[in-house]
Amino acid sequence: MEAYRYDKSFELYDRANEVVPCGLYGHLGVGRARLNPMGCYPLFSDHAEGTYIWDVDGNRFIDYACAYGPNALGYQDPDVDAAALRQREKGNCTTVVSPVMIECAEKLVETLNCADWAFFAKNGGDVTTLAVMTARHATGRKKIIMMEHGYHGVYQWCQKPGTPGVLDEEICNNLYVPFNDFDAIEKMVKDHPGEIAGILSMPYDHISHYDNVLPKEDYWPKVRKLCDDHGIVLIIDDVRAGFRMDLAGSDHYFGIKADLLTLGKAIANGWNMAALVGRKEMRDAVEDMNYTGSYWLSAVPLAASVATLTKMKEIDATGIMRKTGEKLISGLKQVADANKVNLSTTGLPSLFKIILKDPDESMIPHQEWIGEMVRRGVYISHFHNMFTNTAMTDQDLQYTFDNADETLKMIIKKYPQILL
Ligand SMILES: Cc1ncc(COP(=O)(O)O)c(C=O)c1O
């Protein structure tokens, strides 16, 4: 397989850098080691379809980043996009709201186990923020227990201490505990009697740069009971994992019912929408909120979401994504075993994390391996968990295995110390 060139991407990056801070920011930028090794990733895409993206240099990639989650049914899914375009002809951002809002709320209530109501916004961060405000208002308390490696967006309250522009006062009511450590949560609750408004956590630890961690078997039921015993609101942040583990919610997957569940990303297959859903006991608190945005009830993404949720159920998208993930992980493991290297595969198959281990734990061979795969058409992040979607075929998986095998051999030649 020949390595791709990114001449146009780099040219465009220089142009972007003239007028956009960092050229590209966040996890899409080249700064802060996000896209290591430098030069292995395309920076601008031309178009996308199914599971593929084509960059501006004409290179095609099987995209395991899935737009970092939204792409669940394939880019440009014909059913979802037809529903969106039908609504587009009628109107999108209008003074008076379209009844498609009700249809979408009904769909979410029908689909998500903990949902008695739904509230719409745009980004995951909009609804994690609303969830925390709701927990505080519902309990009259200030403090939120959060997981050390949790990610809930970029609003001030959920930034890490020391982040430029974030005041200590904005995060002083966050209490951090390690994920999966029930005793630490219980101690935190005991140490702050009557002060904890909510516990906020992703359903499992999708930690960047490290292996992902699934909850111990009794972890979530114990957390649920602790919340019930102390009147604490349990918020599960399902923005990333939502619909990939269980259509009825990741809380349902782990045998519990959250009080509030945040959704985004896959909820509209890439059309911009997020939602907070919750139990009826939480409804009064949300009703008191002054919380909205100019585009939050735009009709096109709501129509796209109805079509997405309908199709996901019809085709058992969650099951397809899981099975594809299982095949992918087992194939990559076989490639690693045949080459006598240690590939760790963690998380759930539809939201998998892979790390090529080396005895020095330097991550350099891992990053270079991932970089070489990307340069040959398999888009994987070296630090983030990845995703499957329902458009991936066995042929795509086979290409991925062949690519992984060829590039692994290159890396072993350069770093023979990774051999078992
Ligand atoms: C678990 C989780 N919560 C919240 C967010 C924030 O979502 P958004 O980027 O749409 O604001 C993300 C985004 O990656 C996420 O993974």
Q: Which of 34, 132, 151 is the best mutation target for the ligand 1 pocket, counting ligand atoms within 8 Å of the beta carbon and taking the most?
A: 151
Query: Atom 7 in ligand 1: which residue has the minimum CA distance?
Result: 124
The CATH T-level fold of domain 78-315 is Aspartate Aminotransferase; domain 2 (3.40.640)
Q: Which atom of ligand 1 is nearest to the CA of 240?
A: 16
Query: Atom 13 in ligand 1: which residue has the minimum CA distance?
Result: 153
The single-letter code of the amino acid at 377 is G
In tens, the pLDDT along 72-88 reads: 999 999 999 999 999 99
In tens, the pLDDT along 100-120 reads: 999 999 999 999 999 999 999
**Which CA distances in Å does 286 have to 120, 127, 200, 277, 420?**
12, 11, 17, 10, 55
Query: Atom 4 in ligand 1: which residue has the minimum CA distance?
Result: 152
Residue 407 Cα, ligand 1 centroid: separation in angstroms? 31
Confidence of residue 361 (pLDDT cuts 50, 70, 90): confident
- Nearest CA to 254 out of 183, 320, 201 is that of 201
Is 275 exposed, middle or buried, given 0-12, 13-18 or 19+ CB atoms closer than 10 A? buried
The CATH T-level fold of domain 7-64+317-418 is Aspartate Aminotransferase, domain 1 (3.90.1150)
Confidence of residue 24 (pLDDT cuts 50, 70, 90): confident
Mean pLDDT for the stretch of residues 144-167: 94
Alpha-carbon gap, residue 193 to 155, rounded angstroms: 27
Q: Which atom of ligand 1 is nearest to the CA of 122?
A: 10
Residue 123 Cα, ligand 1 centroid: separation in angstroms? 7
Q: Which residue has the higher pLDDT, 271 or 27?
A: 271
Average pLDDT value over all residues in the chain: 96
Give residue 34's pLDDT. 65
Residue 403 Cα, ligand 1 centroid: separation in angstroms? 30
Residue 152 Cα, ligand 1 centroid: separation in angstroms? 5
- Nearest CA to 124 out of 209, 207, 67, 180 is that of 67
Q: Which of 122, 239, 243, 244 is the best mutation target for the ligand 1 pocket, counting ligand atoms within 8 Å of the beta carbon and taking the most?
A: 239
Give counts: helices (H), strands (E), the chain.
13, 13
Q: What does the block give as tokens for 108?
A: 């979410």
Query: Same fold for the domain at 7-64+317-418 and the one at 78-315?
Result: no
Q: Quick one: angle between helices 299-315 and 317-338, nearest 10?
A: 70
Give residue 26's pLDDT. 79
Is 66 exposed, middle or buried, given 0-12, 13-18 or 19+ CB atoms closer than 10 A? buried
Q: Which residue has the higher pLDDT, 237 or 37?
A: 237
- Nearest CA to 249 out of 284, 220, 211 is that of 220
Q: Which of 240, 272, 383 is the best mutation target for the ligand 1 pocket, counting ligand atoms within 8 Å of the beta carbon and taking the most?
A: 240
Residue 419 Cα, ligand 1 centroid: separation in angstroms? 37
Q: Which of 120, 128, 212 is the best mutation target for the ligand 1 pocket, counting ligand atoms within 8 Å of the beta carbon and taking the most?
A: 128
Residues with CB under 6 A from ligand 1: 68, 123-125, 128, 151-153, 202, 237, 239-240, 264
Residue-range domain boundaries for the chain? 7-64+317-418, 78-315
Mean pLDDT for the stretch of residues 377-396: 96
Q: Which atom of ligand 1 is nearest to the CA of 126?
A: 11
Mean pLDDT for the stretch of residues 11-39: 82
Query: Atom 16 in ligand 1: which residue has the minimum CA distance?
Result: 240
